[in-house]
A and B are shown apart, each in its own frame.
Chain A
Amino acid sequence: MQKKFLNKYNEIILKNLSSKKPFLNDEFEQALKYRLKSGLSSMDDFYKAIESNFRIEKTQKDRYIGYFCSIVPEELLIACCLKPVRLCCEEYAWTNAGEEILPGDICPVIKSICGKFYNNVYDYLDLVIVPGTCDPKTKLAELLSPVKEIYFLDPGRNSDYLDNVDKWTALYTKFFEFLKQKFQCNAGRKQLLNACKLTNKRTEIFKKIYELRIKSPDVINAFDYYVMIYVSFFMDIEQWNNMAEKVYDEAKEKHSLSKKPKILLAGSPVIFPNFKILDVLQQAELEISSDIQCTSFGRFYNPVVIDEDTESGIIRALTLKNIAGSICPCLLNLEKMVNLIIDTVNQYKLDGVVYYNLRLCQVFETQTTVIRQVLKENKIPFLSVKSDFGKEDIGQLKTRFEAFREIIQSGKE
């Protein structure tokens, strides 16, 4: 069994940091106003799903497992008939709640997660899987261990396939055994195959949407796209596939009218309530047509390719998809990121790259210098922007984005 981290001190921590009054985040209702912008009628059930997400009652039968990065294999959870819920959240209100527990200068995502856990928003979770990708996340495991049972998944920092694939397979098999033993379900090869089929279907749908958005970005605008991504965090996969399929079918016929410059949004992920970047980009008439972020592209683009359909073969294919194929900057992935950016821009003839750094998240920021120099070499306009969840620097962001647009447009003539 996974040993708890702070066995001795759990009670002390819980007593002192016991849950305060639950934070009312009005910011959430305010965020739903994006609903009016979306032209597609089939997007409504996605927005409805968001509201329902905040009232998940713990039903007896299905168990919810919280996890964070796309390093964690969803297929194993689905195979054990558990409900995976992704907990990465970027809400300004919750970061303030988190600041009561953690000191100020810590990655805002970690603060908002701690805020949520210590204000028992996530009571319905049975287990939380924390990957050891970046440093604050490893500390998060210890932070959350008083509140919830934690399983710590540590893939190591090297994403090279040849040296580490056996290590990863052992890691995933141990994780799978732990899940089966904890939840007493005998998931075998058949369940794994079904789970992989589901995720592959999701990948197929995502690719269609991803390519359609590049062709005509304003048909499925950026807000709808990121809302769909956010809904896939907690919604059941089949349900999500059908809804997304409907959105794609509806959007297929429409054609794009916008002549705005097409932007590739790279860097740290944009998750539902924190749509500040999308707002400002839209005001600056820049069209986000594609993105390389771990919550959306990194998680959905690579299918699980099963060549060896034995049980260990499937688990090995999963490690390839989730760790070797991941674009998380916490692993040694800089060359892969730069390749991806250059290739996506050249292949789809985009106009520029906006690199969104989350303030206080050093992992993304250190990459900007290399990416800046390489893109300058390849004559691709590049703008790196550092910002937080708060709304105070919208003015500065707008000047940057408008200047960037002017650079692109003058570059075009």
Chain B
Amino acid sequence: MLKAGIDIGSVMTKCVIVRDETVIARAIGRSGTMPEIIAEKVLKEALSQAELDYSDLDKIVSTGYGRHIFSKAHFTITEISAVAKAVFHIMKTGCLIIDVGGQDTKTIEIDGSGEIVDFLMNDKCAAGTGRFLEMMAGVLETDIYGLGKLALQADKPVLLNATCSVFAESEVVSLIAHNEKKENIAAGLFNAIASRIATMMAHFNKNVPVVFCGGGANIPALKNSIEKISNRKLEIPEYPQFLVAFGSALTF
């Protein structure tokens, strides 16, 4: 039973090929202005990785913001239920999922039987999302992962109080002008994001394991600052970015 899960995110498009609930191929591509074509390309890439042909696929499930655009998909499902399915498949217990995506951050709580109890989305404001990190990285002339490395060596993180990403940028520029160390600014950024995520986590059940997934999970610095501020241990499954696609493939 061959299934393909495509997560057409606002920033990255991820595709996963699954045979009997084990992932055999993964592919990722930056979804620019033409998500339809990008999704096609990523799907072909994943198929070539798994040396399969298009016709072998039994089911194609699309999820993410562009799920309705991808015409080839047999089924569509929201990324919230998808990530919940995937995490439950891995953890097998009730837990709290934090998904820092390209354009939004989601906190989803699932109970012991995999049912979604409640979920909160912060997609109205860009602060605390992948897009925000990319902008800040651009200001500090590095990429997101470079920003992560910088934040690790910080000695005294700066307190950034701008919650809105536009003002945060002007604040960072003014800090650089006062020749503040880049490491401290990066750490301050991650603390700002972490505190936002911590307040979202507070709405949910306190004594449940926390799973960190989505693009943001690849940055260890973000994980440390969230753990420090919300003093709860975060688990990161391998390939956290592909969890949504993996979950969508599992549901049907």
Contacts and interface: CB of A to CB of B under 8 A. Distances in A.
Interface of A: 372, 376, 382, 386, 393, 395-396, 399-400, 402-403, 406-407, 410-411
Nearest to A409: B81
A396 B124 contact: yes
B81 A410 contact: yes
A403 B118 contact: no
Query: What are the 5 tightest A-B residue pairs by CB atom distance, in nearest-first order?
Result: A403-B80, A406-B81, A403-B78, A402-B78, A396-B123
Contacts of A400: 121
B119 interface: yes
A399 B9 CA distance: 13
A407 B116 contact: yes
Given A403-B80, A403-B81, A406-B77, A411 B121 contact: no
A372 B79 CA distance: 22
Interface in B114-136: 115-119, 121, 123-124
A376 B121 CA distance: 18
B117 A399 contact: no
A402 B123 CA distance: 15
B118 A372 contact: yes
A380 to B, nearest CB: 12
Interface in B84-143: 104, 115-119, 121, 123-124
Contact of B65 (A382, A395, A406): A395
Contacts of B104: 396
B116 A410 contact: yes
A396 B78 CA distance: 11
Q: Identify whether the interface residues of A are mostly helix, strand, loop, or mixed.
A: helix
15 contacts: A382-B118, A395-B65, A396-B104, A396-B121, A396-B124, A399-B65, A399-B79, A399-B121, A400-B121, A403-B80, A403-B81, A406-B78, A407-B81, A410-B115, A410-B116
B185 to A, nearest CB: 30
Interface of B: 65, 77-81, 104, 115-119, 121, 123-124
Contacts of A376: 117-118
Interface centre among A386, A400, A403, A411 (most CB of B within 10 A): A403
A411 B65 CA distance: 24
Nearest to B121: A400
Contacts of B78: 399, 402-403, 406
Contacts of B79: 399
A411 B84 CA distance: 14
A407 B115 contact: yes
Contacts of B80: 399, 403, 406
Contacts of A407: 81, 115-116
Contacts of A403: 78, 80-81, 116, 119
Contacts of A393: 124
Contacts of A372: 118
Contacts of A410: 81, 115-116
Nearest to A400: B121
A15 to B, nearest CB: 37
A276 B124 CA distance: 17
A54 B105 CA distance: 44
A393 B123 CA distance: 9
A382 to B, nearest CB: 8
A386 B104 CA distance: 15
A333 to B, nearest CB: 24
A403 B78 CA distance: 6
A382 B123 CA distance: 19
Nearest to A385: B121
Given A399-B79, A406-B116, 6 more contacts: A376-B118, A386-B124, A399-B121, A402-B78, A403-B80, A406-B80
B7 to A, nearest CB: 13
A402 to B, nearest CB: 5
A402 B65 CA distance: 12
B119 to A, nearest CB: 6
Contacts of B116: 403, 406-407, 410
A402 B119 CA distance: 12
Most buried by A among B78, B121, B124: B78
A244 B79 CA distance: 42
A16 to B, nearest CB: 32
Contacts of A399: 65, 78-80, 121, 123
Contacts of A382: 118
